[in-house]
Every structure is written in C-alpha cells, then in structure tokens.
Structure 1
Amino acid sequence: PNQGNTKLNNNLEKLESLLHTQKVELKQLSSNQLKSLRSQIATIEQTNDSIYSLYRNTMSKQADSMIANLNGQQSDVKSNIVALQRISSSIDNASTQKPGTKQINNAIDQLDSALSILKKFKSTSKFINKKNLDLIISVLKSSPNIAKVFANPVYEKKVNIYNLGLLGYGVTPFYTTLSIWVGILLITTIVFWEYTKFSTTKYLKLNRVQSYLGKLFLYLSLSFIQSTITLIGEIFILRIHPNSILGFIGVVYLTTLTFTVILFTLVYLFGNVGKVFGVLLMLIQIFGTGGIYPLEIIPNGLSNLANFLPFYYSINLFRDAIAGTINTSFVFNCIVLGDFIIVAFLIAPLHNVINSLINNFEDAFKLSNL
C-alpha cells in the first residue's frame, strides 16, 4: 500500500506540474487569435472533459477504494483527493483562456502525457484491493518473523573469523617477538661472552667448539628462563588464549633458540660491535617485517628485506598459533628459522679471522673502562 500511494503521489505531482505549465502558457496567448482558434479551444474543452470524466469514473473510485481498505493511510489518500480536485479546477480555468497555435499543441502534448500517466497508475494500482490487503495482514499476524523480515530485510552480523579480533591478540605476535629479542640482547650486555683466565690455564684448555657451545648454553639457559616468564605472563596474566596452546609454546622456544644463536654468534664474532649489529637488526625488523604496519604500505627497499629477517617468520608463526594453524605455512616458517640457526653455526668458525681484525678496537674499549 505504501508503494501504491507513493506512485499515486508522484503521478499526481507530475500531472499537476503539466497542467500548471499549460495554464501559464495559455495566459501568454494573444486575444487577437481567439476567432481563428475556436476549433482548437473546442478540442481542448473536449480533452478537459475527458480527463475530468477519467478522474470522476476511475481515479475517484480508486481513491475511495483505498480509503476504505487502508485505514492507516486515510490522511494520505485524502490529500490525493484534494490534489485531484485542484487538478480539476486547473483544467476548468484553463479552458477559458485564449490559446495560440504553438501553445495549444504544447498543451495537447502535455495533456496526452498526463493521460498516459493516469493510465499507468490505473494499471499498477490494481493489486490494491481488499482481498490482497486482508491476505497480507493475515500472513503477518500468523508469523511475526515474517513481519520482522519486512521491517528489516537486511541486517548486519559481525563474526570474528580468526582469533585476532581484539587488539591484544593482534599485537601479541609482534611484541612477543620483540621482547624475546630485547631480552637476549640485554643478556649479551650483562653476561660476558669471553672466559676468565682460569678457563685458559693448563688445567682447563678449551678449543673453539667448546668455548662457543659452552657460553651458548649459558645464554640459552638464561633466555629460556626469560621466555618462560613471558609465556606465563601472556597466558595467565594478559589472558591471551591462542588457538593452539602447544603451537604457541613451541613457537616461543623456537624463536628464543633462533634469536639466542643469532645474537650470541654476532657477539662471539664481533665482540661489542656485535651488540651494535644486534641493535641495528632490531630497528630494521621493527618497521620492516610487517609486525605493526603491513608490508604493502612501507617503502619497497625496506619491505624487500623482510624475507631475510628472522622477525618476519617468527611473527607469522605466532599469528598461526593464535589465529589458527595452517600446516604448510607453519612448517615452512619453522624450517626457515632453523635455517637461520644453521647459518649462524656455519659462520661461527670465522671467529679467528674476524677477531684479529677487531682486536685493536676491543683493546681500546677495555682501556676505556666502559
């Protein structure tokens, strides 16, 4: 019913506009053309009578039917009747004017257009009858759910597909990775990577493998303690509940192992300069591994380095563990972190070559008492 009334109002407004245009044009005609155009006036009067008859015989009955069947829309229909009466008055007034040939032709075209609009309205409003309205009302009364569908045909429902809807879950992969790296970097500052004089006496001779692995195990022990505290804090204090708890724990310790081997190897090879390398790597990885900002919005020169940095794979592993593991992606990232460990072991024997190059720097550093 609302749709029918809307169409009725639109059609009536178009008809009123057309008739108003006719009235304005008819007023502009010259009185000198009255005699020569009496036949056209007769045609106009006949057309006016036809429209008035159409109004009386069709649209008036239709309006009365709508008043009887749509009690909730009585005011709208009454306004439509008033509009029709105004149209009739305009037609009567227009018939008394003095038209000219061009204006008469325009008026005839406009009246034809109005007639087609009225015919179209008549055909489209056939569905508005008591039988159909009663049927719709009975259906809506029998099923309130259908009424709700008509009232709100479209509604929005938000579903959290992955376990990353909260901000804490979204940033956990990056900040966990960063905290592990920073913790190990602090260990390299606090725990000295060389051995005391007692370790180099004739009673205890250490070869390169023993000296490397001995300190590495010490670093790993301290790093695992730090990571365990981080793990407990995230799960029991921050209430981070990953989709795969075992996967989350495994990623924490795999990341700790990888970062410890990398940073200790840098310090083992370059001494204090290795700490500087560790800090520089951390700064690059903060912005260049997609931890906070997507790789697509950062400069290409920086984003292209992501595939060569351990942060990138560690963050992806944490996301898989929290949001839901994709086996192929999870295994691939684990393998790449393992590759970083292998590379660190392979370059560790370069200690003698590199150490001879930085001895002067290390000696000057020791003399500075820093």
Structure 2
Amino acid sequence: MKMAKQEWINLFRNKILLISVIAITFIPILYSSIFDKSVWDPYGRAKDLPVAVVNEDKPTELLGQKMNVGQQVVDNLKKDHQLDWHFVSKEEAEKGMKDLKYYMIVTITEDFSKNAASIINKTPEKMEIVYTTNDSLNYIANEISTVGATALETQVREQVVTAYATAVVEAGEKLVGALGQAADGANQLAGGGSQLQTGLKQYTDGVSQADDGSNQLADGTGQLANSIGPLASGVSQLDSGANQLSSALNQANSALAPVQNNITGIDAGLTQLAAGTQDLANALTTFENNLDPNVKVILDNDLQNIRNEINSIITNKDKLLGISGEATAVADQATVASNSLSGANLEIQKIQTDIDSYVAGLLANTTIPEDEKANIVSSITNKVDTILNEQIASATAQINTSLVTVESELATLSARAAELSASANDVSNITNAMAASAQQLSASEASIQAGVNTFDSLLNQVPGSSNAVGLTNGLYAISSDLNLVATKLPTALTGINQLTTGSEQLSSGLDQLQSQIPTLSSGVNQLNTGADQLQAGLAELNENSPELMSGIGQLEGGAKELASALDEGVNESSTLKITKKNIDQFAAPTSLKNDEYSKVANYGEALAPYIMSLALFVGSMLFNFIYPIRKISIAGQSSGAWWLSKVSLGFGVSSMMAVIQASVMLLIGLHVDNVFQFFLTAFVSAWSYMAITMFLAMTFDNPGRFVAMILLVLQLGGAGGTFPIQLQAPFFSMIHPYLPMSYSVYAFREAISGGIGAPLFTKSILILAVLMIVFVALLRYSMHILQKKHLQNVSELNDNQKLQGLEN
C-alpha cells in the first residue's frame, strides 16, 4: 500500500503528468459526446434535406372527367414537410444536382395521369415516379431520400386507390339498382315464358294445320301448272281461226258493197217496169216464151243462194260474237288466276319472312318485359293463324274456282274454235259464192237489160201474149225478192262489219292472251315452287316445334333461376353500406403498429452504447500510451507492491473516465432506462479495458500498445455497434463473441433502452468482469517476470518515463 500511495503522490506532484492524466479522463466524454451529439437526430431533421420535384405530367380525361394526378401530388407535397421539397423545372433540377444543391430529384412522368386513367383499359399501365439520387454526395442522405420517395409512392398509391374505390362504389350503387330492375325483368320474363309456352302450343297446332293446307295447295298448283299447256295450245288455235275469220269477212264485205248498189238500182227499175207493163201481160207471155230459160234459172238460184247465205252470215255473226265474249271471259279468268297466283306467292313468302323474323327475334332477346313478351307471343300466334288460314283458304278457293272456270272455258273454246274454223271455211265459201253470184248477177243484169230491150221490140210486134201475166207475176216476185235483198243486205253488211270488228277484237284479245300465257305459266310455276317451299318450310317448322317448346321450357326455368339469384343478390347488396371509412379501408387495408419492446428515441441514443464503449477503450489505451507504466515509485519494493501501485492508479483513472462520461451523457440529454445499470456498465467496461491495455503496455511495451490498437480496430468492425452483426462480413461475425466491446455494447443498450434482457446484461457484465480479473492476474504475473529481469524501469517511451522523473 505504501508504494501505491506513493504512486498517487508522484502523480499529483508531476503537474504535466497530472494534466495529461486529467485530460485523458475527459477523452471518452469528449469523443462520445461530440460525435454522438453531431448525429443525435439526423432523421428528425430530414425536413431540411433539399429534394427537387419536377412535374412533367399532362392532364387527361377519364369517363368525361378531367384528371391531373401530377398536380394533385405537387399540391400534397407542398403541405408535406418530411423533406425540403423544391418544385423546379427539369433543367433547374439537373443543374442543382450537378452543383450538389439537391440530394435527390423526384420526377413525375408526363404520362402519369394517362396511366392512372388506363385502369379501365385491357392492358393498364403503371403510374411511374422516377427519383434520381447522388449516393457519392452522402449515402445516408440517399437512404433518407429513398425513404421519402417510398413514402411519397405509398401516399400516391393510397390516393389513387381511394379515387378508384370511390368510382367503383358509385358504379356498384348503380349496378345494384340495375340488378333490381333486372330481377323485376327476370320475373316478368319467367311469367312471359309461361305465356309464351302456351302461345307456342297454339302456334305449333296452327303450323301443323298450315302444313296440311300447304300440301293441298301444292297439289292444286301442280294441277294448275299441268293445265297451262292445253290452254296455250287452244288459244293458239283459236287465234289462228280468228285471223282466218277476219280475213274472210273483209273479203265478203268488199264483195257485197257493189252488189248492194246494183240491187238498189235493179229494184227501182223493176218497180217501174212492173208499173208500166201492167197492160203488157199478154205481151209478156210472148216475152216469156221468147226469154232465155237459163237466165231465169240463174236468177232464181242466185236469189235463193243469197237468202241462204245471208241467213248463214247472220247465224255465224252471233256465233262469232259469242266466241269473242267467251274468249274475253277466258282471258279475264286467266288474268284473275295469274293475279291470284302471284298474290298467293307473295303472301306465302311474306308468311315465311314473318315467321323467321319473329321466331329469331324471340329466341335472341331474353330481356324483354313480360307485357311486351306476351304481345309478341299473341302477335305471332294471331298472325300465323290469320295469314295461314285466310290466305290458304282464299288461295285454294280462288285457284279451284279459276281451275274449274278455265277448264270449262277451255272446253267451250275448243269446241267453239272447231266450229269457228268450220264457219270460217263456210264463210269463205259463201263469200266466194256470193262473189260469183254477184258476177253472175251482174251478167244477168246485162241479160235483163237485153231482155227489156227485146221486150220493147217485141212489145211493138206482139201486143199480147199468153205468158204476160205469168211474166208480170214473176217480175213482181223478182221485185219483191230484190226489195227483200236490198232490205237485208245493209243489215248483213252491218253484221259483217260488226263481225269483222269483233273478229279483230277477238284476234287482238287472243294475241294478248297468248302473250300472257308465258307469264301465266311462269306465275303458276313460281306458285308451285313457292307452295313446295312453303310445304317444306312448314314441315321443317313442324318437326322443330318440339325443340322450340323444349327451348321455351328451358328459357322459363332459366328465367326463374335468374330472377331468384338476382333477388338474392339485390337483398344482399342492400345490406352493404359503403362509407368513406370503408373506402379508406379499401385504399389502405393495413396499418403499421409499432409495438415497442424497447424504445430508442433517436439515432444518437441508438449510437450511444457503441460510442461510449469505444470512447472508454480509447481513453484506457491513451492512458497506457502516455503514462510511464513501467516506472516504479519506490525502489526495492516487491513486484506485488509495484503491481498494486499501477493497478490502483489505472483503476482510479478508468473509474474517473466512467463517472465523467456517464454523468455528462446524462446531462446532454441521453435518456437512460436504468441509471444503475448504466453506471455499472461504464465502470466494468472501463476497468476491463484498462486491465487489457495495461497488461499489453506493461508486458510488451510498444508492441503491446500496437496490439491494443489492432484490438481497437477489430472492435470497431466486430462489436456490432452500428449495424446488426448478421449484416456484416463473416469474419466480423466470427470474432464478435470474443471482443470485449461486444458485451459492453450489449450492457449499455440494456441500461439505456432495455430490450436486451437481464440475462444478456448479466452475462455481459460477468464476461467483462472476468476479463478484468484475468488480465489483472496476468498483469501481476508479467510484472513479476519484468522485475526478475530488471525491466521495471526500462521502456521505449523514455520521454514519457522522464516526465515523472522531472518532477522527482
């Protein structure tokens, strides 16, 4: 103890050494307080970190509403003070980055709003925020900027999701209303499906009846088509006979015109002759005897033939007029038949079109309300029944009537055509005979005139005759016949003219009828084809009616199921109430809750355990660098006394370091969870470090001090004071359990903020205490060896050793 006391006395007597030791005791607090306070709360001052913001976004439209998301982000950043935002142009930002004015550039791209609106597109694009950092300017600043950019991206995401969610909610509310309407429509559709099924049953029955009627229609049109050929042949023959009749009548008319004029003159002459020759009855006998008998015979025959021919002409005129009327009737019937066939064909096509259109529309449209569906069903049923029944019945009746009429008229026309042909030949013969008779009559006129002349001469010669009375009677008879002929000839000529006109009309009508025969034939063929198509279509429709009924049944079942599901969906939707809180929940469904097992207020507090441990080790190392550790205070003392003197001084100085450091750290604002543990850790750490460095300096002198420096460097990387040891290189992870400072850091952390746990704290304190005891024991042994070798006053730090000698 005497030597230890002397060691302290020598220290206080040596002012220079005392000042050095006092300064060394403040080294830990200077180191830890200045360094730790400089980085006390860098994240809390992130609002002073300059960051440039460049907004290149261009507004766009979404569903008719203007969107300018980039400007909204800028407006929000102006209210945010997490970083020092500077809103500049792209050029200013790049220049500021180059001049080290900005630590980061945040760029809102020009298609920011456009990509936000692309959510409704098939391939939406992500909104992109580009941030540019300068790591070499300061990496920690880059980390802070990156955290700020990440927070900005999160904020923008939440805002955009909120906008999307709001739009979805509004659309959902409209959808719920639409679902309600759809449910009502589905119920109506289900009811309409039942009515439709009933109506279609009636419709299929009507289709079956229409199918049967179409078979009869097809048979009738086939018969009609077969009758067209004979009709065309008969009309052709009739037209040919009518042309011959017209030609013969023209010839007869031309021949009878001069006969009429001659007969009129003859009749007048005969009348005068009969009146003037009454008294010549006797002379007539002589004239009769002298008259040429052939003339008398010719004259009698011609008159008789004229009577017969006129009667024949009159009879034939009536027949021709009848034939003309019948031909006209046949033409009219043919026209009616053609029109009926064309109309029936059009109606059939219209029926097919209506059926196809209504059935296709009915099957395609499943959202028609009940009342409209019922109207459609009723319309289909009524239309099909009405059109098919009326048109088929009407067409069948008209066609049958036309067929009967045409067949009857054709038969009559055929017979009349034969008669007309014979009559035409008769008229031709009669005309020829009349022409010959006219010529004979003309010749007889000359003979009569000659006879008159002869009669005049004979009258002078023969004043009487036994045949005069008979001749006078004959002349009167001839005059009467000629009067009759003269009277009848105009009527005959008029009849011939009428007959000629009628034959020309008949010929013209037959030409028109013949020209319409192809059209009638084509129409009948089209009618026949349409009837076949109608029959095939109705047969196919009749065959597919069961499938249609089955489909309607499925439609009704599906409509009921749909209505039930929609009602259920509407009921469930009505219980769902979306508020702003729900939208916020949708936009940010999660939140971070920091359940602090232990709390560290700031970066300085987190770094304090490491800085304080490091400062104590540095202070201990500096003491053994400066203080003459091998110098003995009293000569001739034992190695034990020498050891005790050095240990007492070393532990006294290290204790002062611990007290000063711990006290000042509390004064500058370090929050400590357990003050006792805090001071205990400071003392044990300082004692352990002093024992280790003193052993190295005392035992190995300067090489030992160098080893102490190496140990300091290793502990800087391996103590785990800044980053988790798991994140460091494997070498430092390997040496971490063997470094004293590792346990000092653990103990300080538990004392300052807790969370390490009492077991680890106790373990750390025990390990440090054990190290202290071990190295103090090793120091005792090494000083004993040094004394034996007489090296107690020998040191490479001669100047430091002389410091104490100067005071002595």
Asked if TM exceeds 0.5, the reply is yes
Q: Deviation at 1:303?
A: 1.3
Counterpart code for 2:705? K
Decide whether aligned partners of structure 1 residues 365 and 236 sit closer, same or farther in structure 2, where only a CA change above 3 A counts: closer
User: What residue number does 1:190 align with?
Assistant: 626
Q: Deviation at 1:49?
A: 3.7
Counterpart code for 1:190? I
Decide whether aligned partners of structure 1 residues 363 and 266 sit closer, same or farther in structure 2, where only a CA change above 3 A counts: closer
Q: Deviation at 1:44?
A: 3.6
Among residues 223, 227, 238, which one is paired with 2:654 in the alignment?
223
User: What residue number does 1:47 align with?
Assistant: 363
User: What residue number does 1:126 align with?
Assistant: 571
CA contact (8 A) 1:288 1:302 kept: yes
- For the residue of structure 1 that corresponds to 2:362, the secondary structure is helix
User: What residue number does 1:282 align with?
Assistant: 712
User: What residue number does 2:689 align with?
Assistant: 259
Q: Deviation at 1:225?
A: 1.7
Partners in 1 of 2:599 and 2:685 — Cα distance?
21
1:320 aligns with 2:754: no
1:329 aligns with 2:772: no
- For the residue of structure 1 that corresponds to 2:760, the secondary structure is helix
1:175 aligns with 2:607: no
Among residues 599, 613, 619, which one is paired with 1:163 in the alignment?
599
CA contact (8 A) 1:4 1:125 kept: no
Alignment of 1:24-173 (within 5 A): 42-53=358-369, 121-127=566-572, 150=582, 152-153=584-585, 155-173=591-609
Q: Deviation at 1:219?
A: 1.8
CA contact (8 A) 2:621 2:705 kept: yes
- For the residue of structure 2 that corresponds to 1:126, the secondary structure is helix
Q: Deviation at 1:276?
A: 0.7
Partners in 2 of 1:268 and 1:55 — Cα distance?
112
User: What residue number does 1:65 align with?
Assistant: none
Counterpart code for 2:677? G
Partners in 2 of 1:232 and 1:117 — Cα distance?
81
1:347 aligns with 2:778: yes
User: What residue number does 1:61 align with?
Assistant: none
Decide whether aligned partners of structure 1 residues 120 and 331 sit closer, same or farther in structure 2, where only a CA change above 3 A counts: same
Partners in 2 of 1:304 and 1:192 — Cα distance?
35
Decide whether aligned partners of structure 1 residues 301 and 127 sit closer, same or farther in structure 2, where only a CA change above 3 A counts: closer
What is the CA deviation profile of residues 5-48 of structure 1, one whole-angstrom value per residue up to 9, with x for unaligned ones? 3756999xxxxxxxxxxxxxxxxxxxxxxxx9998765541134
Point out where structure 2 has 5 or more consecutive residues left out of the alignment.
1-168, 180-351, 374-550, 803-808
Partners in 1 of 2:696 and 2:371 — Cα distance?
96
Alignment of 1:7-22 (within 5 A): none
User: What residue number does 1:199 align with?
Assistant: 634
CA contact (8 A) 1:174 1:291 kept: yes
User: What residue number does 1:214 align with?
Assistant: 645
- For the residue of structure 1 that corresponds to 2:672, the secondary structure is coil
Counterpart code for 2:571? K
1:243 aligns with 2:678: no
Q: Deviation at 1:55?
A: 12
Partners in 2 of 1:39 and 1:311 — Cα distance?
99
Partners in 2 of 1:241 and 1:235 — Cα distance?
7
1:307 aligns with 2:737: yes
For structure 1, which segment, 150-159 or 206-215, has the greater mean C-alpha deviation from structure 2 after superposition? 150-159
User: For this pair of structures, how many residues does the alignment match?
Assistant: 270
What is the CA deviation profile of residues 202-236 of structure 1, one whole-angstrom value per residue up to 9, with x for unaligned ones? xxx22222212211211222222222221122101
- For the residue of structure 1 that corresponds to 2:683, the secondary structure is helix
Partners in 1 of 2:687 and 2:178 — Cα distance?
75
Decide whether aligned partners of structure 1 residues 6 and 347 sit closer, same or farther in structure 2, where only a CA change above 3 A counts: farther
For structure 1, which segment, 39-48 or 293-302, has the greater mean C-alpha deviation from structure 2 after superposition? 39-48
Counterpart code for 1:199? I
Decide whether aligned partners of structure 1 residues 243 and 328 sit closer, same or farther in structure 2, where only a CA change above 3 A counts: same
What is the CA deviation profile of residues 151-198 of structure 1, one whole-angstrom value per residue up to 9, with x for unaligned ones? 6445544454313241122111100100111111111122110225x6
Partners in 2 of 1:209 and 1:37 — Cα distance?
129
- For the residue of structure 1 that corresponds to 2:673, the secondary structure is coil
What is the CA deviation profile of residues 267-311 of structure 1, one whole-angstrom value per residue up to 9, with x for unaligned ones? 111111111111110100010121112111222222111111100
1:271 aligns with 2:701: yes
Partners in 2 of 1:292 and 1:282 — Cα distance?
15
Counterpart code for 1:5? E
- For the residue of structure 2 that corresponds to 1:282, the secondary structure is helix
CA contact (8 A) 2:718 2:733 kept: yes
Partners in 1 of 2:690 and 2:371 — Cα distance?
92
TM-score (norm 2): 0.30
Decide whether aligned partners of structure 1 residues 297 and 192 sit closer, same or farther in structure 2, where only a CA change above 3 A counts: same
Counterpart code for 2:730? N
Partners in 2 of 1:343 and 1:174 — Cα distance?
24
- For the residue of structure 1 that corresponds to 2:571, the secondary structure is coil
Decide whether aligned partners of structure 1 residues 162 and 56 sit closer, same or farther in structure 2, where only a CA change above 3 A counts: farther
Decide whether aligned partners of structure 1 residues 322 and 363 sit closer, same or farther in structure 2, where only a CA change above 3 A counts: closer
- For the residue of structure 2 that corresponds to 1:234, the secondary structure is helix
Decide whether aligned partners of structure 1 residues 215 and 365 sit closer, same or farther in structure 2, where only a CA change above 3 A counts: closer
Partners in 2 of 1:54 and 1:343 — Cα distance?
101
Among residues 741, 761, 769, which one is paired with 1:338 in the alignment?
769
Decide whether aligned partners of structure 1 residues 8 and 265 sit closer, same or farther in structure 2, where only a CA change above 3 A counts: same
Counterpart code for 2:613? T
Counterpart code for 2:634? S
CA contact (8 A) 1:163 1:242 kept: no
CA contact (8 A) 2:640 2:784 kept: no
Partners in 2 of 1:306 and 1:55 — Cα distance?
87
Partners in 1 of 2:729 and 2:617 — Cα distance?
24
Q: Deviation at 1:356?
A: 9.3
CA contact (8 A) 1:163 1:243 kept: no
CA contact (8 A) 1:163 1:169 kept: no
- For the residue of structure 1 that corresponds to 2:637, the secondary structure is coil
User: What residue number does 2:239 align with?
Assistant: none
CA contact (8 A) 1:184 1:223 kept: yes
Decide whether aligned partners of structure 1 residues 128 and 315 sit closer, same or farther in structure 2, where only a CA change above 3 A counts: closer
- For the residue of structure 2 that corresponds to 1:163, the secondary structure is coil
Q: Deviation at 1:255?
A: 0.8
Partners in 1 of 2:732 and 2:372 — Cα distance?
80
- For the residue of structure 1 that corresponds to 2:368, the secondary structure is helix
1:5 aligns with 2:173: yes
Partners in 2 of 1:365 and 1:187 — Cα distance?
13
Bigger relative CO (Cα 8 Å, ≥ 6 apart): 2
Counterpart code for 2:648? F
Q: Deviation at 1:351?
A: 4.4
